[in-house]
Amino acid sequence: MTVLQSFLLFSLLTADPLTPGDHTRTLKVGDLERSYLVHVPPKYDHNNPTPVVLIYHGGGSNAEGMVRFSGMNNKSDEAGFIAVYPSGTGRFTRVLTFNGGNCCGYAMQQNVDDVEFTRKLLDDLATVINVDQKRVFATGMSNGGIIAYRMASELSDRIAAIAPVGGPMGTETCNPNRPVPVIHFHGTDDENAPFKGGKGKGVSGTDFYSVEHSIQAWVKANDCDGEPVVTKQQPRVNDGTTIIRKTYGGGKDGSEVVLIEIVGGGHTWPGGPSKVRFLGKTTMNISANDAMWEFFQNHPMK
């Protein structure tokens, strides 16, 4: 048992565990007071190590907004994982961002250390939840997807796999200490974080890296096959979108990189409850929540 594992076990035994329901946690990171929401599903058993999914909100939003936008609490209740919603930083409590590298806003401008925040968040969470340390995953929308990529690169000792949605890498390269499986969801008609990269129509002013840049960086980092297996899924509904799945397999330790290309999709959460019209089409031909959870189940940390 490592020193960290011993500390977390001691903390878990001496703190009051969280019960099923919704909770808010706060902690200090440097000079900043940070917070996060925790959703504990009804079937949670404190005696059993339980998977955790970190769900980062988009730029200009907040943790509460991400609960509604993603619908991940329902998936948590169904599947039994702990849903955790970190809050970014900003001048206004409802307009927050994460520092993903080249994005976004206040967090980037102030050089906020969101990697350290996430590390301390996981340490704090483990004092009140019996966390399965091999099954801590990260997802997020837009700026939240960008920070998920950064966590995979700089916190690969804690993050087993990631599932960015509508958010490419915010750095030129990635440098994980171990292979980190990736499943990335992105609409080809995304005008806020363009599929081919460049500046979007949002207010961040970010010159985004392309989706292809992100995928190829992680194909290389995980030592996956250079050519993907491409499958086009049969549409479930006629909503103007189609799904192309590109799987780069054969990576180290069973890792893979998967791109879910949503042809006709916008800057939206696939299958999500939130359908904000100005963000483009929300596909109902795939559920990001279902697909990422299936992916996560197949990729615990080795």
235 DSSP assignment:
P
Q: Which of 271, 295, 302 is nearest to 81 (CA)?
A: 295
In angstroms, rounded to a whole number, what is the distance separating the alpha carbons of residues 237 and 87? 34
DSSP assignment string, 265-284: --SS-TT-S---GGG----S
Please report the pLDDT score of residue 94 as a whole number: 86
**Which bin fits 105, alpha (ψ -120 to 50), beta or left (φ > 0)?**
left
Please report the pLDDT score of residue 180 as a whole number: 98
Q: Is the overall model pTM greater than 0.75, yes or no?
A: yes
Q: Which of 290, 281, 258 is nearest to 184 (CA)?
A: 258
Please report the pLDDT score of residue 224 as a whole number: 98
Q: How far is CA 131 from CA 50, 124, 127, 128, 146, in A?
A: 5, 11, 9, 9, 24
Coil, strand or helix at 97: strand
41 DSSP assignment:
-
Model confidence over 172-217: pLDDT tens digits? Answer: 999 999 999 999 999 999 999 999 999 988 766 789 999 999 999 9
Give how many domains the chain has, as a whole number: 1
Q: How far is CA 101 from CA 28, 97, 175, in A?
A: 22, 12, 14
Please report the pLDDT score of residue 276 as a whole number: 78
> Which residues of the chain carry a pLDDT beneath 70?
1-14, 203-204
Residue 159 sits in which domain range?
3-298
Model confidence over 86-101: pLDDT tens digits? Answer: 999 999 888 999 999 9
- The CATH number linked to 163 is 3.40.50.1820
Please report the pLDDT score of residue 4 as a whole number: 55
